[in-house]
Amino acid sequence: MNKTVREKIEDRELLYLSPLASKSRNTKGRKRYEEPCTLRTEYQRDRDRILHSKAFRRLKHKTQVFFSPYDDHFRTRMTHTLEVSQIARTISRALDLNEDLTEAIALGHDLGHTPFGHSGERVLNELMPDGYKHNEQSVRVVEFIEDLNLTAETLDGILNHSYDYTPSTLEGQVVRISDKIAYINHDIQDALRAGIICTDDIPKESLEYFSATNRIRITKLVNDIVENSFGKDKILMSDECFKQFINLRKWMFEHVYNNSPAKQEEDKAQNVIKRLFEYYCNELKMLYPSSSEKEIMQTTCDYVSGMTDRYVLIRYEEIFLPVPLIQKRNDEFLYKLAKMNGLKK
């Protein structure tokens, strides 16, 4: 009997991947059973579903660090995601882990990010009674809003890519550290491009250890992880590399993320999100008076958190600023979410 392409790939995984790698044939599966694909493994299907999702496409217009820059070379949330994927795939390939699962997790890890980056996340965290975490919203996006029916391993990696979480697979751990490697390095590049810092501002010890060149820094970090993680059940850095990396990350938070011209517009951005959130909550209360406060707020959160930077500003302008003519607003997806969340009239 001839084997399918998928079965041949699964055989190669069992033959060539590390005993510690996640094998697609041994997946814990999906919440709803689906017939296997003849061409793709389960993790490859996850990757493709994420790549073709609406939430993934919106990442191109969501802030990484700098709000709506005019320079096209600044990172967006999508380019950050692609850089995470590239670094994570390189590490997984070198460690004989499952590159397809790694890529699926990497592409999906930030789907729940808000407009205006972490500043948007902070304001939604204040507004929502149970708080807001983009990793948890990423899972909600793929499970509920877009209903991609992903495998348990991909969902675990997406949920647990943040610092306070621990992925159950090595592939998830690879994405978790690759996320940090990507944003520290590309945010240095963007901060230099914006004139917020200059090379001489970066701690001398970090420059001596990692180099001032982006590709050399990334290569050093990746090589260190591969050398210290091969054949082990954890993804690790050497003590010295980890110390230097943490020191560089701490410096970036002090001089770029929390205290720099990049944050000058943050209060304005947060006010925009807050006013829209309050507006849509009030609108849903009038349209769905039999619904609970929790249902109303969750629906509003799903809608606002999914917006791109420019869509937030368009909606804000249409709702709160005077216009010469009455224009038709397009909030159909808000009402679709209301139906999905079970709001009652």
Length of the chain: 345
Q: What is the token pair recorded at 80? A: 């950050």
pLDDT of residue 239: 97
Q: What is the mean pLDDT of the chain?
A: 94
> What percentage of the chain has pLDDT greater than the value 70?
96
Q: Is 150 within 8 Å of 48 (Cβ atoms)?
A: no
Least Cα distance to 298 among 280, 273, 313 occurs for 280
Tokens standing for residue 301: 């959160």
- Token pair, residue 196, equals 């917020």
Query: pTM for the full model?
Result: 0.94
For the cut 70, the answer to whether the pLDDT of residue 130 exceeds it is: yes
d(CA 30, CA 240): 40
Question: Phi and psi (nearest 5°) for 161?
Answer: -80, -10
- Please choose, from the candidates 165, 168, 180, the residue with its C-alpha nearest in 3D space to the C-alpha of residue 84: 180
Give the range among 78-87, 145-154, 321-330 with minimum mean pLDDT: 321-330
Query: What are 313's strand-pairing partners?
Result: none
Q: How far apart are CA 6 and CA 1, in angstroms?
A: 14
pLDDT at 324: 63
Distance CA 136, CA 113 (A): 10
